[in-house]
């Protein structure tokens, strides 16, 4: 029984320490999270432990050209964000303001977002489409 209790305490401690070193990520509402490191079963809020991760995202937003218009959806294919997590507790991804369908289409030709770590800007990050992600993987090998 004592061995079981010791094992339980050690396991619980390891689990809590891994959660304590995890970062929460906030995404804009236009970006839907599809997968993390290839896993589609995602818990919310998203907690990422230290290390390298790959987020699969999809852009989706409704744009209306005038008040009488029912609107038009703009959806992207998969967008990939390679992300390295360190000691930060909060990661926030922010998209530029996209006021029109045409602005959003231009954005999706070369999508970039601003990444903040614990409230401080870490600069722009590129959201890779499938072809760019494959090229990056090929270059790494």
Any domain includes 13: no
Any domain includes 10: no
pTM check: above 0.85: no
Any domain includes 37: yes
Q: What is the token pair recorded at 103?
A: 């602005």
Residue 10 has pLDDT above 80, yes or no: no
Pairing between β-strand 31-36 and β-strand 47-48 as defined by DSSP bridges: unpaired
Range of the domain at 82: 23-140
Q: State the total domains in the chain.
A: 1
Any domain includes 81: yes
pLDDT, tens digit (0-9, with 9 covering 90-100), for 30-73 = 999 999 999 999 888 899 999 999 999 999 999 987 766 678 99
* pLDDT band at 16; cut points 50, 70, 90: very low
Any domain includes 15: no
Residue 28 has pLDDT above 60, yes or no: yes
Any domain includes 14: no
Any domain includes 4: no
Q: What is the DSSP letter of 105?
A: H
Number of neighbouring beta carbons within 10 Å of residue 36: 19
* DSSP H stretches of helix in 42-141: 101-109, 130-140
What's the Cα-to-Cα distance from 130 to each of 134, 135, 136, rounded to whole Å? 6, 9, 10
Any domain includes 11: no
Which of 113, 114, 115, 109 is CA-nearest to residue 131? Answer: 109
Q: Give the integer Cα–Cα distance in Å for 134 and 137.
A: 5
End-to-end CA distance of the chain: 50
What's the Cα-to-Cα distance from 60 to each of 31, 72, 79, 108, 111, rounded to whole Å? 7, 10, 11, 11, 13
């Amino acid at each position: 029984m004592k061995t079981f209790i010791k094992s339980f305490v050690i396991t619980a401690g390891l689990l809590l320490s891994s959660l304590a070193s995890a970062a929460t990520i906030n995404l804009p509402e236009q970006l839907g999270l599809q997968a993390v490191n290839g896993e589609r079963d995602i818990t919310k809020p998203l907690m990422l432990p230290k290390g390298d991760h790959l987020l699969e995202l999809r852009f989706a937003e409704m744009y209306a050209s005038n008040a009488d218009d029912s609107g038009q959806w703009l959806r992207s294919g998969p967008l990939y964000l390679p992300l390295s997590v360190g000691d930060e507790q909060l990661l926030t991804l922010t998209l530029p303001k996209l006021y029109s369908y045409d602005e959003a289409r231009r954005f999706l030709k070369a999508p970039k977002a601003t990444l903040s770590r614990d409230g401080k800007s870490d600069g722009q990050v590129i959201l890779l489409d499938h072809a760019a992600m494959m090229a990056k993987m090929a270059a790494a090998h």
